[in-house]
Structure 1
Amino acid sequence: MGEIRFGVDDLAQLRFAVSPLWETIAALRASADPGCHALHLPWIKQALTIGRDRTDLLAHLPELDALAPPPRCPLAEIEEELAALTGPPELADLLLVWWRAGVRPHWPRIRAVLEADLAYRTRQLAEDGIQEVFAHLHPSLRWSEDRLSWTGPPVGRIALDGGGITLAPSAFTARCVLISGRDGVPPCLVYPARGIGTLWERRAEPGDGLARLLGRSRAGLLSRTSTPTTTTGLAGQTGLSLGAVSQHLAVLRDAGLVTGHRYRREVYYRASELGLALLERTP
Structure 2
Amino acid sequence: MGEVLFGVDDMANLRFAMSPLWETAASLRAVADPGRHAVHLPWIKEALALRQDRSLAGKTEPLHALVARDGTVRSFLTPPPRCPLAEMEEELATLAALPAEGVRAGLEAVGRRTPLTDFERRLADDPVRVLPELADAVLAWWQAGVRPYWPRIRAVLEADVAYRTRQLGEDGIREVLAHLHPALHWADNRLVSADLPAGELGLDGGGITLAPSAFAVRCHLLTGQGGAPPCTIYPSRAVGTLWERRDAAGDGLARLLGRSRAQVLAHTSSPSTTTRLAGRTGLSLGAVSQHLAVLRDAGLVTSHRYRREVHYKASDLGIALLERV
TM-score, normalised via structure 2 length: 0.81
Match of 1:74 among 69, 79, 84: 84
Matched, 1:123 2:133: no
Counterpart-to-counterpart distance in 2, 1:176 and 1:108: 23
Counterpart of 1:16 in structure 2 is 16
Matched, 1:268 2:311: yes
Match of 1:59 among 46, 53, 64: 64
Counterpart-to-counterpart distance in 1, 2:241 and 2:34: 17
Deviation of 1:264 after TM superposition, in Å, equals 4.6
Structure 2: gaps (5+ residues): 99-126
Match of 1:97 among 136, 140, 157: 140
- CA separation of 1:59 and 1:76: change in aligned 2, threshold 3 A: closer
- CA separation of 1:156 and 1:3: change in aligned 2, threshold 3 A: closer
Between 53-62 and 160-169, the greater mean CA deviation after superposition: 53-62
Q: Is the 8 A contact 2:80 2:223 kept in 1?
A: yes
Equivalent AA in structure 2 for residue 189 of structure 1: T
Counterpart-to-counterpart distance in 1, 2:11 and 2:308: 22
Counterpart-to-counterpart distance in 2, 1:4 and 1:276: 38
Q: Is the 8 A contact 1:20 1:78 kept in 2?
A: yes
Between 81-90 and 61-70, the greater mean CA deviation after superposition: 61-70
Deviation of 1:247 after TM superposition, in Å, equals 2.4
Between 243-252 and 106-115, the greater mean CA deviation after superposition: 243-252
Counterpart-to-counterpart distance in 2, 1:59 and 1:234: 33
Counterpart-to-counterpart distance in 1, 2:318 and 2:243: 24
Counterpart-to-counterpart distance in 1, 2:189 and 2:285: 43
Deviation of 1:187 after TM superposition, in Å, equals 0.4
Which is higher, the Rg of structure 1 or of structure 2? 2
Deviation of 1:156 after TM superposition, in Å, equals 5.5
Counterpart of 2:118 in structure 1 is none
Q: Is the 8 A contact 2:3 2:198 kept in 1?
A: no
Counterpart-to-counterpart distance in 1, 2:63 and 2:135: 13
Match of 2:176 among 133, 146, 150: 133
Q: Is the 8 A contact 1:18 1:74 kept in 2?
A: yes
Deviations 1:65-90 (A, max 9, x none): 32121112222111111111144221
- CA separation of 1:78 and 1:188: change in aligned 2, threshold 3 A: same
Match of 1:144 among 168, 181, 187: 187
Q: Is the 8 A contact 2:196 2:221 kept in 1?
A: no
Deviation of 1:136 after TM superposition, in Å, equals 1.4
Deviation of 1:265 after TM superposition, in Å, equals 4.3
Counterpart-to-counterpart distance in 1, 2:5 and 2:148: 40
Counterpart-to-counterpart distance in 1, 2:275 and 2:85: 11
More helix by share: 2
Deviation of 1:182 after TM superposition, in Å, equals 1.3
Counterpart-to-counterpart distance in 1, 2:19 and 2:196: 23
Equivalent AA in structure 1 for residue 2 of structure 2: G
Tell me the matched-pair count.
282
Counterpart of 2:31 in structure 1 is 31
Deviation of 1:125 after TM superposition, in Å, equals 1.2
Q: Is the 8 A contact 1:168 1:189 kept in 2?
A: yes
Q: Secondary structure at the match of 1:48?
A: helix
Deviation of 1:122 after TM superposition, in Å, equals 1.1
Counterpart-to-counterpart distance in 1, 2:90 and 2:63: 22
Counterpart-to-counterpart distance in 2, 1:10 and 1:169: 19
Q: Is the 8 A contact 2:196 2:219 kept in 1?
A: no
Matched, 1:277 2:320: yes
Between 187-196 and 71-80, the greater mean CA deviation after superposition: 71-80
Q: Secondary structure at the match of 1:37?
A: helix
Q: Is the 8 A contact 1:169 1:191 kept in 2?
A: yes
Matched, 1:218 2:297: no
Between 122-131 and 94-103, the greater mean CA deviation after superposition: 122-131
What are the residue-to-residue correspondences of 1:141-220 with 2, within 5 Å? 141-152=184-195, 154-155=197-198, 157-220=200-263
Counterpart-to-counterpart distance in 2, 1:153 and 1:76: 24
- CA separation of 1:265 and 1:194: change in aligned 2, threshold 3 A: farther
Between 177-186 and 255-264, the greater mean CA deviation after superposition: 255-264
Counterpart-to-counterpart distance in 1, 2:8 and 2:219: 24
Cα root mean square deviation, aligned: 1.9
- Identity, in percent, stands at 70
Counterpart-to-counterpart distance in 1, 2:77 and 2:200: 18
- CA separation of 1:102 and 1:214: change in aligned 2, threshold 3 A: same
Matched, 1:236 2:279: yes
Deviations 1:131-172 (A, max 9, x none): 111121111111122111111363464231111000011111
- CA separation of 1:147 and 1:214: change in aligned 2, threshold 3 A: same
